[in-house]
Structure 1
Amino acid sequence: MTPPPSSRTASPVPGEILTDGSQLTIQGDWVLGHYPELKNLIARLQISGSVEGCSGNLANLGRVDTAGAALLAELLGAKALAGLADSTPGLADERRALLRAVARAMGDRNEPQPPAYNPVVAMLSTLGQRVEELYDLLRLLLAFIGETLAALAYNLPRPRRWRVTAFVAAIQDTGLNALPIVALLTFLVGAVVAFLGATVLEAFGATIYTVNLVAFSFLREFGVLLAAILLAGRTASSFTAHLGAMKVNEELDAIRTLGLSPVELLVLPRVLAMMISLPLLTFVGMLSGMAGGAAVCALVLDISPTQFLAIVEQDIALKHFLVGLGKAPVFAFLIAVIGCLEGFKVSGSAQSVGEHTTSSVVQSIFMVILLDSIAALFFMEMGW
């Protein structure tokens, strides 16, 4: 009974190699059925050193397939095999084409060595990558800010679309729950600023101006800056983690499937809540910081709280309070937008949630300090 084609065995004429010390004569069938025997044969020849410096001869080559051609490329070298396939007379065209293709493929496996390490080129390459990443980040942030403003402009005239419950919950989370830590931190910083001012001004006999230093610094800078940095670390990370977890759980896809907008449903309540909470926290931070300075002045400099308030009322103009408070909504908007954007950028794993949470905190604090510096220079030039 003749076996089916799928069970036929290889040719009974296995390939072999004859050598006379200068030439390797390849003959027989080099096919997959004889692969173990041919592999052992090549290994023995390579161990004995019989193939070194020898040329090849394919004139007596029988049948060959891809496995056999790969063994020949390993024995003779891919370049030498390609040359023999072109120069051997009487070789069938299909075998010649197969040997060329296998030799080309085996030759491509020898990847070129990487160029020598150049620290200048590596530094410029890294710098270019960072600049490109920064450009992509700014472009995406500006696009998301535009989308948020468009959604805000569309929803504000339509009270029926307002998410009042989410808005009130976000105010409690971002404002009321953050009130104790903001008050405590600004109180302590106010005390430290008063100590430093008293120490420096004592040498000039002008310790009374410690009151001006504390009030001026907290009304213009420290009140809003400390509150914004605390919210950037506390609230922006919360926004990113919450939205990132929703994306991991495919809740954002479910919202879009229902025909709802994630920006309208999730971003706008958080942005509006931050824009209300941060000015209130800034006001509390200003009062708490000046209270810390007043406590130090009362204990160290014998300046009573009544005298402290009288100096503030007399010497500190209202514009300093307005400058500090006016920066709060801008900082709040940026912190909330960055936190939500990083949450939407989560790729779908717990590691990605952690990475983007860290990124949101770093970006928020950086943008707050950058804008505060620009605003300080602008107000100084304007005489405000």
Structure 2
Amino acid sequence: MSVPDSFSPVVVTPVSASTLPWLGSDQKYHVSYDLQLTNASRLPATLTSVQVVDAKQPDTVLASLSGGQLVDPSCTYGECNLLRMLPDANATDTVMPPGQSRALLVDLTFDTLKQAPAAVAHRLSLTGQAAPPATQPTPISYLAAPFDISAGKPLVIAPPLKGTNWVAANGCCGIGGAHRPALNSLNGKLTNGQRFAIDWLKLTDSGAFYSGDKTKNESYAGYGQAIYAVADGTVSSTLDTVDAGTPGILPANDPVLGPKLTIENVDGNHIIQDLGGGVWAMYAHLIKGSLLVKPGDKVKKGQKIADLGNTGNSSGPHLHFQLMDNPSLLQADAVPYVFDGFTYEGQVSYPAWLASDAYESGTYFQGKLPTGQPRTDALPLALAIVDFPS
């Protein structure tokens, strides 16, 4: 679509290229992307709401973001604080002074794939400079930023893990995890390579993440678990020199360890695999010395490639997994994907997750279903508990 001509004090730019719907473990279809909003006028702009509309039928509102969805200091998880200070902090209010920018996280949900339009646009309502001669902010509304959300189908891959009681920590969508709002300014642009990333943690049969000494990696259910290639492909790069960290300590927050983090080692020992078609997989925080592949190696789907560890900027054993559109983390944007099959076992409670200590102490089976539900070609949502085929 072409938007109607209008003076637009706040310029809207999609952070990523076109995207596409994917099926979640809730059996609904999701579309997730980010917008950069820049006040290009000489007066302050106070955002009231952003409506996501069908680009072909702008009167059809798909989602309306306002109030606490944009800014809510009391909210710690869910559909809130979607307006971000750059690169990824909560905005303190909806005012954008002249020349300043914000990011907006957009997550759409549809009951069926047919409900998702081919493209969306965005109707901004704000108080700002309504015309070039204006000297005082006044209410204004306009359409902006048509965006294609029908760019094909999500890539179907195999899970990178096997076995029971895996938790999709920091998964998509909404606020409350580390990945969805993880915008970064890298290589001269705003990127979000972790939009669909998941930190995979394993629970014991009693619903805890560890048994025994919580300060030792070996006490955690996931530590040392085998990691498998999610598809056929070629290894692009690896790192296998980072020593194990100590559970409960996030290096980025430590005055001694923090300065030692670099772009190269922040993800610890890792493998980046070229899946073809402009998509790369990243497997991160691996055990030093466990990597079974090197750059240039051809790997097959289901082939063991490493062991799950706790290296880099990690506070406990887990596998960080994501797909991206570039082998360089500095260049990459996130790519939607789905797993070919898993069993959905329920959810870890967000309040329980956020209230736990640095070791994720406690038990987390309160939201586990009496009977697991099979899922095909879907992506586990944040804090889903899933079993992968053995």
TM-score (norm 2): 0.19
Higher helix share: 1
Higher strand share: 2
* Rg larger in structure: 1
